[in-house]
Amino acid sequence: MTRDEILKIIEEEKIHFFRLQFVDILGHMKNVAIPRSQIEKALDGQIMFDGSSIDGFVSINESDMYLKPDYDSFVVLPWRNKDGVAAARIICDVAKADGSPFEGCPRQNLKRVLAEAQKMGFTMNVGTECEFFLFERDECGNPTICTQDKAGYFSVDPDDYGIDCRREIIETLESMGYEIEASHHEVAEGQHEINFKYADAVTAADNTITFKWVVKTIAKKYGLHATFMPKPVFGINGSGMHTNQSLFHLDGRNAFFDESDPLQLSKTAYQYIAGIAKNARAFAAVTNPLVNSYKRLVPGYEAPVYVAWSASNRSALMRIPASRGQGTRVEVRCPDPTCNPYLAFAMMLSAGLDGVKNDLTPPPSTDLNIYKMTDRQKRAAKIKNMPASLQEALVEFKKNPLSRAALGDHIFENYLSAKEAEWDAFRIAVTDWERETYLAVY
C-alpha cells in the first residue's frame, strides 16, 4: 500500500482518529492516538514519543524516539465506526532521534535476523495457531475463570457458549483483510482456536499481535474476558501457540521440500530441525515467557514436554504436518500466546539457521507416545526435557550464545533483567496453595 492510497481511504472512510502501534520488549501492544490533522505527519514518520516511558527502551537522557509506519499494516478498525466517523491503525518500527533503527525495537530486531537469513538465500514464512479462553466477568467487570461453556474439542452448537463471540471475531478479522482458514472449540471448556493463513515472518508477527487485540476487544463487547494466559485453570488443557514455520528460497521455492526423500524433507529441513532441537531449551525463555507458562508444559495435557520430532507424533516438540510441496513446514508446538512473536520468531529462526550453518543432523524421529516412554527409553533415544520452570529456562537462555546473537545486546539484557525480576517476585510470593497445604498442619 502506498501513502496516497492510505490518504484516499482516510478521506473516503472519514477517518478522524489514527492509532500508531508498536510493541515493547515483552510484547505488549502500545499506541499513540492522533487526530486527522496529524495523519500526514504520522505517515511521514515524524511523530515523536518518549521512549524512556516504555520499559526496556531507553533512559531519560535519550528519550526522543520516532514511529516509522509500515504502510502495508494500515487497516480501518471495523468496531470503531461511530456516527459516520471511523478510526484506523498502522504498525510502526521504532527509530532513534537520528532516524536510525532502534536496536530495542522487537520488530526491527526480527528484520535484522531475517536479513541474515536472506544472506544465506532464505526467507521465512510463519503461521501461528493461537488458543484462548473466553471467561465471564463479575458484576464489577473483572475477569473470572467461570464459563457456562460445556463444549469440548470440535463441538457444535448449542454447547459452544462462545460461538457467537467467535463468529464476530472471525467476521471482524476478515473485514480487516485476514484470510481465516478454520476455527473450532478446543479441548477445554471455554477454550477456542482460530487459524489464519501463514505470511512472511514480520507480517505473521503483526497478525498475531493484531489477532490478540481483536479477540480481546470483541470478547469485551459480549461481556466476556478473553485470555491468552497459558494455564488459567488447574486440571484442564492450557493454551498454546503452535508455530508453523518454513524456509523458502529467494525464488519462491519451499526449501524444506525434497520429493526424493522418504519423508519428502530436504537436507535443509533436517538441518533446521536439528537446530531447533539443539537450542529449544534456550529459546523457551522467549517462546514461553511467564512463570505460568511452565504450568502448561507438563505431561498429560497435550503440551510438548520433550525435545524430539516426528512426522505425526503430537507428543513431540516438533511435528511435520502432512502437507508437502509448498506447504512443507515444521510445527514447533511449545510456544504459548503470551510470547512476543517478533522475539519468538527471531529466536526460532536463529535456532534453525544454526542447524543449517553448521550442517547439524537431527536425532532420529520419535514415533512412540513419549508420555508413555520410560526414563530409560528416553535416555536411550537422547530425548531431553524442556525446562520445568521459568528459572530453569532463564539459566539455559543465559548460557547459550545464540540468545544474545538472536536478540542483540539491548533486548537480551533488558529482557533477561525483566524476566529475572518476574521470577524473583514469584519466588518470594506466598500462594494460596501454600496456605491451604501448610497453615493448619504446621
Identify the weakest region by mean pLDDT among 78-82, 151-155, 278-282, 292-296: 151-155
Q: What pLDDT, on the 0 to 100 scale, is given for residue 161?
A: 62
pLDDT in the model for residue 434? 94
pLDDT at 158 over 70: no
Mean pLDDT along residues 65-92:
92
> Tell me, what's the pLDDT at 105?
95
The whole-number pLDDT of residue 160 equals 58
Q: Which residues are catalytic?
A: 50, 129, 131, 186, 193, 242, 314, 331, 333
Residue 23: how many CB atoms within 10 A of its CB?
24
For residue 215, pLDDT beyond 80: yes
| pLDDT over 70 (residue 155) | no
Question: What residues contact 72, with CB distance under 8 A and at least 6 apart?
Answer: 1, 203
pLDDT at position 301 over 60: yes
- 153: how many CB neighbours lie within 10 A of its CB? 12
Instruction: Give the pLDDT mean for 98-102.
Output: 91
- pLDDT confidence bin for 59, thresholds 50/70/90: low
Q: What is the pLDDT of residue 412?
A: 97
pLDDT in tens, 125-143: 999 999 999 999 999 989 9
Burial of 387-425, coded b for 16+ CB within 10 Å and e otherwise, reads bebbbbbbebbeebebbebbbbebbbebbbeebeebbee
Please report which confidence band the pLDDT of residue 410 belongs to, taking 50, 70 and 90 as the band edges.
very high
Cβ atoms of residues 3 and 71 within 8 Å: yes
Q: CA 23, CA 206: separation in Å to the nearest integer? A: 10
pLDDT mean over 396-401: 97
pLDDT at 221: 93
pLDDT at position 120 over 90: yes
Query: Hey, what's the cell of 171?
Result: 467476521
Mean pLDDT over the full length of the chain = 91
Per the CB < 8 A criterion, the answer to whether 128 and 341 are in contact is: yes
234 burial class (0-12, 13-18, 19+ CB within 10 angstroms)?
exposed
Residue-level pLDDT at 61: 60
Of 193, 191, 174, 173, give the one whose Cα is nearest residue 182: 193
Would you say residue 157 has pLDDT above 70?
no
- Are the C-beta atoms of residues 23 and 212 closer than 8 Å to each other? no
User: Mean pLDDT over residues 84-106, rounded?
Assistant: 93
